Structure formats: structure tokens, C-alpha cells
Structure 1
């Protein structure tokens, strides 16, 4: 049985995720051993610039891709919301374990949800997706970029910002639910594509590793993620664009909601589609085309021109 080297970012959350996958692999056989290959990505180094201004796809994955390709690591563990839709040749996202809470969560100075904040409150988030949606609902709020790990961002509350918005999945994985004051419903804030989903990337040629990693797949999470990422791929979106998508399953029926918004919140285009779960990828493309035709094309073209 193999010794599996797992490439991961160095943040506390990324390490938790990699250690979780390591434990799941080791459960398969007492002969499997693992080690973490800890990597600093470009996105981890540039903390004083909003993500949208850094630009470029693969901000949190390029150096991890390189470790996989040059043989320093056998697999990589990613937060799927950070993963570009195009991967380096010879590698694939092989598995998606069961999805964690896909919502966003907020901590506030008032100890309540967003609706308890005063007019003109300052909200900390580096996500244009969140800004676009929340500006439409709370036009008086000001938004500032906050970067760094969960603990770093929460430390800014009360000093620099009145609230901090984070992905609920990371909060739950780190056992920090008691520091949140609201888990925001998906109708108010449609999640990032594949938010809460982990992806395990491997080299296509590693048959033995792939056979093990395949066993970590959760079918529902795979089908939902496929639909959401097909939507993103059709829009040519990275993780720093105001694009959101969220798929749910009702038996064999898949329901997909998608959104593109302008950064100032003046335009938010939402559409949804339903169909058999096996057609998720085609549904994602169809929904993206519908949103493009409804007015998203010039919004995205202006954003991409500014990258």
C-alpha cells in the first residue's frame, strides 16, 4: 500500500482539510500512510491587495499544481471555490467528499445578523460576489477588503469593520460556529460555486492512487458540483468575479440557481433551471447562456477587461 504525499496550503483551514482527507485515506487500510506537503501560494503571499485586483486564475492553486506535476506530491486537497475550471494537463479533480454547509456566515459588532447593523455599516469581505448581492439589499453598507485566514479576518471586527462575512464551511470545520451571529440563507446570498466542497486533485496516470481516491466520492456532492462548475466555466469566471451558483437535489431532480451581478449592486441577474441529475453539466451551460443573454455579458466583459 502506498505512502501518500498530500499537497496543501499552510493556513489552519487548509491544513484541517488536508488532515481530514489523510485520515479518510488511512481508514481504508492500516498499510496506508500519509504526509502533508505544505505550500505557500501566490494568493497567500499577497495580503494587502483585494483579490479582485490581484487578478488571474489559479491564485491559490498554481504552486500546488506544480508540486503535483513535478512529483513532490501525490494528491492535492483544495477548497473547490478556489479552483479554476481549467486544470493543468495530466491532472484532474478526482473526488469530492460530502459537502459541508454551503452558506455564508457573518460575525457582527451588534451580535445579530446583517439586518441588525446600522445604516452605513462597514462590512469586511474580499468577495465581489458578496458585495454585488448585498449592495442590492443593503445599499447604505460600505464594503472593504479583508484578507488572511479566518482568525486574522475576525480580528479586524470592531477596529476596522462592523461585520466580517466568511464561508460557513470553514467556520464549521474549524469549530468556530459560536463566533458567528448569522448563517445567511441562500436566497439572500447565493453561495460561490462549489462553496463548502473539497476537491482531491491527482495525476491522471496514477492508477493506484486514483483507485483509492475514487472511494472518497460522495455522489450527491459530485453531481451538484458538476452543475455549478459547468455554469462557471461557461461564464469563463474565476473566483474573484461576482458570479454565484447553487445546486440542490430532490431525488433524481437537480435544481440549479445562478447569478451574475454588477459590483455596485445596481444589476443582479438571477435565473434557475431544473432537470435530471445526470444532465447537470448541460444544465450549467444552459443556465449560463440564459443569464448571458439576459444582460450579464457586458458586466463580465467590463470586469475581464479590467483584470
Structure 2
């Protein structure tokens, strides 16, 4: 196969994830040779505006998908939660490796638990999904927009710009910073983003050699859970402008999917739990149940408000 060129964003987390994937791949395919091709995406360049206002998830993958289709790279490693519901035509997710902890994590400046933060404490996060759920749980807190990589956010926390930050636990753990976590947020309080904690290795649909080789790092359970979550997201036609959370787990051989849609201010939140055998069917049923509860109207109104800059 020659040397495989693996595209990755340049952040410390993205590079760590990509190197981890290559290491797992090489363990299973002796003799496999790969090099990382660092890339900068629009999402990495635009750091002073919330994602919900600059185009959402595609910001982190468009340039990488273009490089893949132009054969400048052979595969790309993404945080699966950054992948839009629809991939670029001609590409596929060749592998979903073992999933890291999908929950959100809180890091507070003084080590006190989230429930013990004083009224008015400043919590840094730019995720509408987190704000909607956490504002509903702790309406007395102030939620401060905070973007940048993990190191940047932790620096702002240490500098006192915020009293706590909420991040994906998986990224903190992969960077070896697990000892910094104050607590993990229960999915009952804050459902994670679709695909959070999972990686996706994207490749060209017609590249049979790479696809066959990637089967060695595929994790069946991770694939099923993220398929259920992403099917739900696609059926809702959700994006970064709308707070949507989902978490699928395999329990006793069944897929259990919890999913929610909310208003950005947390004033309205719809949540369902669906169980079944087939991930796509479970995802579609969860979306249908949410739409039956009124998610369609909520989604439409939220999109219109976002377009108006409200």
C-alpha cells in the first residue's frame, strides 16, 4: 500500500488522536506505514465567533474532505462529533475505533463540584447544547462563550476569566489530563453531542485497499451507538444552531438511545428514550418521537432566530 497519508487538524488533541489511531492500526496490520499530514480548517482559523454563527460542523472537515477527494491524503481522522450528518459524496467512514468516555466533564478553578458552584459563577462553554441543558439545571449560573483548544480553555480558567469549564471528557482523557477533571456530568443532566468520544476514520469510497485495512480498527459497538445517534440527528436535520444531544449505549444486547432537543435558553427541552436492535431504526424512532412531542416547531423557530441573529 505504500506510505498512507493521514490527514488531521493541527491541534494537540487532533494530533494525539491521529497518532493513537495509527498506533492501533499498526498493531493490527504489521508493516503498515503511515505519516500524519497536519491541516488547518476554517474552524481552526475562526476562533472569535461561536460555531453556531459561522457555519457549524462542516467548518472542521471541509478542507480535509477536499484533500481526501483530491488524493492529497488517503484517510482522515476526525472527532466524530465534528462530522456533519452528510459526508462529502465519494467518501465513507471506513472505521469507528473503540469509543472513549462520551460524557461531558466539568473542571472548576477551585475543585468544588458543579452543584456547589455559587450563584452567578461563570461557566465557560460555547456549546448551545451544554448551555441549554445546564441552564435548565442551574439557571443561577452565568454561561460565558469560550472557544479554543483544551489548553487555551484551561489557561483562561486558571487566569480567572471563568470559574469552571465544561469540555468533552474524551479529549481531556486522550491528552492525559484526566486528573484535572473535577467531575463527570451525568447524561441525565447533560446529554453529550452526537458521536462524542468517538473517532471516525474517513476515506474514499472507491479506495478498497484502505477500506479493507481499516476494518482491523473497527469497533462494532462504537459503530452501532454512533449510527443510532447520527441517524437521529440526520432525521431531525440538526446542526450547531440547534441544541441537540444524544447518547446510545448497548445494554444486554439492546441499543438504548436517549435524545433531546432544546431551545438555546433552556426554556423548553424535549427528551425521549428508545430501545431496539437495529441502530438506524432506533435513531429514526427517537427522532420521530421527538417530532411528535413538538421538536419540528422548536427546531424551525430556533433556526429562524439564529438566522436573524437572535
Structure-2-length-normalised TM-score: 0.95
Q: Distance in 1 between matches of 2:117 and 2:18?
A: 36
Q: 2:223 — aligned with what?
A: 222
Q: Which residue of the partner structure matches residue 171 of structure 1?
A: 172
Q: CA deviation at 1:57?
A: 4.2
Moved more, 92-101 or 289-298: 289-298
Unaligned runs of 5+ in 2: none
Tell me, yes or no, if the aligned pair for 2:132 and 2:266 is still in contact at 8 Å.
yes
Describe how 1:105-120 pairs up with structure 2 within 5 A. Answer: 105-120=105-120
The alpha carbon displacement at 1:56 in A equals: 4.3
Residue 134 of structure 2 corresponds to which residue in structure 1?
134
In the alignment, structure 1 residue 302 sits paired with structure 2 residue 292? no
| Deviation by residue 1:141-188 (Cα, 9 ceiling, x = unmatched) | 111111111010111115211110100000000010111211111111
Matches within 5 A, 1:1-307: 1-157=1-157, 158-276=159-277, 279-305=278-304, 306-307=306-307
Preserved contact between residue 96 and residue 200 of structure 2 (Cα < 8 Å): yes
Q: Deviations over 1:174-214 (max 9, x none)?
A: 01011121111111111111100000001011111110011
CA distance in 2, matches of 1:24, 1:180: 26
Residue by residue over 1:88-146, the C-alpha shift from the partner in whole angstroms, topping out at 9 and shown as x without a partner, is 11101111111000111111123122111100111100100000001111011111111
The number of equivalent residue pairs is 305
Q: For residues 156 and 292 of structure 1, what CA distance do their matches in structure 2 show?
A: 39
Q: Distance in 2 between matches of 1:260 and 1:217?
A: 30
How many Å separate the matches in 2 of 1:223 and 1:30?
A: 27
Equivalent position SS for 1:222? helix
Q: In 1, Cα distance between the equivalents of 2:145 and 2:29?
A: 44
SS at match of 1:59: helix
Native 8 Å contact 1:84 1:239 kept in 2: no
RMSD, aligned CA: 1.2
Instruction: Report deviation, 1:240.
Output: 4.7
CA contact (8 A) 2:28 2:217 kept: no
What displacement does 1:253 show?
0.9
Distance 2:205 2:29 in 1: 22
CA contact (8 A) 1:110 1:116 kept: no
> Residues 302 and 55 from structure 1, CA distance in 2 versus in 1: closer, same or farther, beyond 3 angstroms?
farther
Any unmatched runs of 5+ in structure 1?
none
Q: Structure 1 length as normaliser, TM-score?
A: 0.96
Whole-angstrom distance in 1 between the partners of 2:253 and 2:241: 32
